[in-house]
């Protein structure tokens, strides 16, 4: 059984120090077999990842260090 995972992210807010991104991911299988029906490696076809990520650009001397927090939800 082979599966495909596809995801996309979009920045909803951005300024000099902060970036906020949202994301959505889903799975599907190109090759179906009669045993599993709509199942694939990740479970069933459809959306199985929703994410919210915030990134803060921390300035240390002359370097910018990204500090991020990511929250994911997975449908089972």
Q: What is the pTM of this model?
A: 0.67
27, 9 contact by CB (below 8 A): no
Distances (CA, A) of 40 to 20, 45, 49, 76: 31, 7, 15, 12
pLDDT digits (tens, 9 = 90+) for 5-58: 889 999 999 999 999 999 999 887 766 665 655 555 656 677 888 999 999 999
30, 40 contact by CB (below 8 A): no
CA angle 24, 49, 45 (to 5 degrees): 100
> What's the average model confidence in pLDDT over 63-67?
90
């Amino acid at each position: 059984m082979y599966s495909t995972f596809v995801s996309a992210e979009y920045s909803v807010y951005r300024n000099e120090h902060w970036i906020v991104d949202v994301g959505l991911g889903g799975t599907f299988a190109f090759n179906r077999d009669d045993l599993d029906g709509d199942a694939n490696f990740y479970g069933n076809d459809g959306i199985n990842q929703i994410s919210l990520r915030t990134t803060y650009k921390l300035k240390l001397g002359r370097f910018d260090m990204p500090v991020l927090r990511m929250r994911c939800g997975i449908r089972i």
